[in-house]
Amino acid sequence: MTPTLFSPLDIGALHLSHRVVMAPLTRMRASSPGNVPTTLNVEYYRQRTTAGGLIIAEGSQISQKGQGMPATPGIYSAAQIEGWRAVTDAVHEKSGLIVLQLWHVGRISHSSHQPNGGLPVAPSAIAAAGNAFTANSERVPFEQPQALEATEIPALIESYAQAARNAKAAGFDGVEIHGANGYLLEQFLQSRSNHRDDNYGGSVENRSRLVLEVAAAVSAEFGADHVGIRLSPYGVANDSGEDDPLPLYTYLISELAKLDLAYLHLIEPRASGAGQAEVDHKNVPSASELFRPVWPNVLIAAGNYRGDSAETLIAKGHADAVAFGRLFIANPDLPERLRRNLDLNAYDRGTFYGGGQEGYTDYPAVAS
């Protein structure tokens, strides 16, 4: 029988009742200082929970060095673990599933976020084009980052492993490694941001090394069947982009498959940069179609999908589930609306980042 958005699905060790996934969404509403999830965040995730539905919680920095925007939650302190525990409890009370995205922004940071005002770290000392968010929410040009020494990389990998341990302590059902959108791991992957001449630079194999080592370390802590990874092979967000992504990402995804991760989460190129502006990049390939043949486990696709296009994608077998972002922001009951083919609330882009309940927990649900 051809699967639909509302067919059950096993993602590694997780058993889903439907395939409408909530994408990880930076909202900048953690407490500040401290970057701790609050009762407002608990309500936001509670509203978007369905029985057997999967939520991928917003990117959460694995260390203070990994932060790039104000009021984004972390997963490296006891208070953050406790704050996230309240979120996971609320999701589990409604029989939902929730995994945490592990995030390090690398050069897409600013010294105002860094310990002792130091420079952000990156694979190479190459500043990104564009503007950073300071701790005071000002926009200023990105600084030239500090290149990580080879001797610092084992500690970086351990910070991912510790974040996985912390996520487990906070009650998450799994974790997703953020390897997309121009952040640290993608900076190592791509030749425009990685000019290293050691074992982590140069060849496709070397540029993929850190991602594979992080995935192995995180899997050792949580179990590979509880671990996913998000990639954006054709993305251009945050001054990213590989001239010829196919060789790099074919190799990387094939090697990740050997780790038997629960899922691969691909951002379609037409949606790259969608958090900052309305985009629909034309004449671009389908990441899910291109890389489905080299990925044997569950594949989640994300990027400007609606209910009908998501159904078509799943029916064709190009992906097993679809992650929705902006539509989930404005429709806390999105799975039910898609199931019943109901009208959708319009989202307010002006309330995406920062603020309080407006544009966060005040979108209406349909009557049951």
Instruction: List Cβ neighbours of 103 (8 Å cut-off, separation of 6 or more).
Output: 59, 60, 61, 62, 66, 72, 178, 183
- How big, in percent rounded to 5, are the helix, strand and coil portions of the chain? 35, 15, 45
> 10 Å Cβ neighbour count for 298?
21
| Eight-state DSSP code of residue 173 | S
C-alpha gyration radius of the chain: 19
Query: Is 183 annotated in the active site?
Result: yes
Instruction: List Cβ neighbours of 277 (8 Å cut-off, separation of 6 or more).
Output: none
Nearest residue to 79 via CA among 136, 43, 25, 38: 38
Task: Please identify which of the residues 44, 45, 160, 183 carries the catalytic annotation.
Answer: 183
Cβ pair 211, 179 in contact under 8 A: yes
Question: Strand locations in 142-254, DSSP E?
Answer: 146-147, 174-179, 227-231
CA terminus-to-terminus distance, the chain: 29
Residue with tokens 């029989």: 95
Residue with tokens 């060789």: 247
CA distance 169 to 92: 14
347 class by beta-carbon count within 10 Å (0-12 exposed, 13-18 middle, 19+ buried)? middle
Residue 297 Cα to chain centre, angstroms? 18
Q: Is 132 helix (H, G, I), strand (E, B) or coil?
A: strand
CA distance 322 to 306: 9
**Residues with catalytic function:** 183
